[in-house]
Amino acid sequence: MKNISVGISGIGSYVPDRVLTNYNLAQMVETNNEWIVERTGIEQRRIADTNQTASDLATQAAIKALEDANTTPEEIDLIIVATATPDHTFPSTASLVQAKLNATKAAAFDMSVGCTGFVYGIATGANFISSGMYKKVLVIGSEVLSKIVNWEDRNTCVLFGDGAGAVVLEACEDGYGILSCELGSDGKEGNVLIVPAGGSKLPASEDTVKDKLHSIQMEGREVFKFAVRIMEKASLVAIEKANLELEDLDFLVPHQANIRIIDSALKKLKLSRDKACINLNKYGNMSSASIPVALDEAVKDGRVRKGDNLVLVAFGAGLTWGSLVIKWNKEGMDD
């Protein structure tokens, strides 16, 4: 990101109204509130209506981000939607959002990077701007994970929720905005977090539906170990690339999968819990939407201020990881 400094000029988020608590889940599968809170930190999550899709949630979040950036849909050059739950295999969810917003001049594409999608999306969008190709890029993380969860599998169904978050990226004051990024993938470990059917390997059939192969399958302990290792490593690399020291960090905006994973990252980065944007207790793991929703909350309640150094760090299906250092370039709500 050397040529033109790129920052977030607007941010917004949207979560569906319907709340599903741990107590509700205990009536659906063999689980209880204590286990879920103690092992994950999650107390409740939001669930979309049956007729709500990823593009619907994405559009709601985008409208708020555009408003915050004082930008009209017609000014947007590119829309990137990170999602593991697209409305269709094709057309892309980004194209559907483009139509819903009437963002007439925007190019549009989706990114399939699981929970790391939003970080990959920002890195991609920022490069289009820093290279001078585009001026305004809308990056959205949107998920309706409730539609791909096996509601009979207590190992996974307690973890996920629905929501969307969006940002507008554009050129910003030098020295501010995205200072560095680190992206990675280890495809050899892809099987530990997978939706096996519905693609070209296992097209939909009566058997794939009967065997619940269109739902999330996860080896929780393997993902956990990977997450703890990679959150620290990816954060440290991005901090170093930004020429900063650990002491320079103001906030961690981590992927919201499990409070124990976040606590471990905080410990290694020598940050206290109040220096992390944490909302998984309210929303669970919203995959690519987790980071922008958490960041939006922290910006809107005045915690994040101009000049703060933030680390956004995520891991997810692939397996993939990504981290960004951002020097917040907007005036804070209380500034």
Q: Give, rounded to a whole angstrom, the gap between the first and last alpha carbons of the chain.
A: 27
How many residues bind to ligand ACO according to rule CB under 6 A?
Answer: 23
Instruction: Work out how close the CB of 230 gets to ligand ACO at its nearest, in angstroms, rounded to a whole number.
Output: 11
Instruction: Work out how close the CB of 322 gets to ligand ACO at its nearest, in angstroms, rounded to a whole number.
Output: 12
3-state secondary structure of 294: helix
Among 9, 40, 85, 93, contact with ligand ACO (rule: CB under 6 A): 40
Residues between 223 and 242 that touch ligand ACO (CB under 6 A)? 223-224, 227
Quickly count: other Cβ atoms within 10 Å of residue 272's Cβ. 8
Among 54, 76, 181, 257, contact with ligand ACO (rule: CB under 6 A): 257
Query: In which residue are the tokens 């930190």 written?
Result: 41
With CB under 6 A as the contact rule, which of the stretches 35-43, 72-80, 97-105, 295-303 interacts with ligand ACO?
35-43
With CB under 6 A as the contact rule, which of the stretches 72-80, 126-134, 218-226, 264-272 interacts with ligand ACO?
218-226
Which are the contacts of 60, defined by CB distance < 8 A and separation ≥ 6? 14, 164
Instruction: Work out how close the CB of 241 gets to ligand ACO at its nearest, in angstroms, rounded to a whole number.
Output: 24
Instruction: Work out how close the CB of 328 gets to ligand ACO at its nearest, in angstroms, rounded to a whole number.
Output: 26
| Ramachandran region, residue 186 (left: φ > 0; alpha: ψ -120 to 50; beta: rest) | beta
- The answer to whether 192 and 219 are in contact (CB under 8 A) is yes
Tokens of residue 218, six digits: 């996860």
Binding mask 151-190 for ligand ACO (x = CB under 6 A): ---xx--x--------------------------------
Q: Is 221 in the site for ligand ACO (CB under 6 A)?
A: yes
Indicate the residue among 96 and 115 with the shorter CB distance to ligand ACO: 115
Indicate the residue among 140 and 304 with the shorter CB distance to ligand ACO: 140
Among 7, 16, 41, 114, contact with ligand ACO (rule: CB under 6 A): 114
CA distance 144 to 50: 10
Among 184, 196, 220, 307, contact with ligand ACO (rule: CB under 6 A): 220
With CB under 6 A as the contact rule, which of the stretches 9-17, 62-70, 215-223, 302-310 interacts with ligand ACO?
215-223
CA distance 153 to 190: 20
With CB under 6 A as the contact rule, which of the stretches 36-44, 119-127, 134-142, 303-311 interacts with ligand ACO?
36-44
CA distance 21 to 189: 32
Burial zone of 114 (CB within 10 Å; 0-12 exposed, 13-18 middle, 19+ buried) = buried
Residues between 305 and 324 that touch ligand ACO (CB under 6 A)? 316-317
Burial zone of 223 (CB within 10 Å; 0-12 exposed, 13-18 middle, 19+ buried) = buried
> Residue 111 is inside which H or E element, if any?
strand 107-111
Asked if the peptide bond before residue 280 counts as cis, ω within 30 degrees of 0, the response is no
Among 54, 178, 193, 259, contact with ligand ACO (rule: CB under 6 A): 193
Mode of pairing for the β-strands spanning 177-185 and 320-327: antiparallel
CA distance 293 to 279: 8
Q: Is 35 in the site for ligand ACO (CB under 6 A)?
A: yes
CA distance 94 to 55: 7
Among 4, 19, 33, 39, contact with ligand ACO (rule: CB under 6 A): 39
CA distance 55 to 62: 10
Q: Is 287 in the site for ligand ACO (CB under 6 A)?
A: yes
Catalytic residues: 115, 255, 285
User: Residue numbers of the site for ligand ACO (CB under 6 A)?
Assistant: 31, 35-36, 39-40, 114-115, 154-155, 158, 193, 218, 220-221, 223-224, 227, 257-258, 285, 287, 316-317
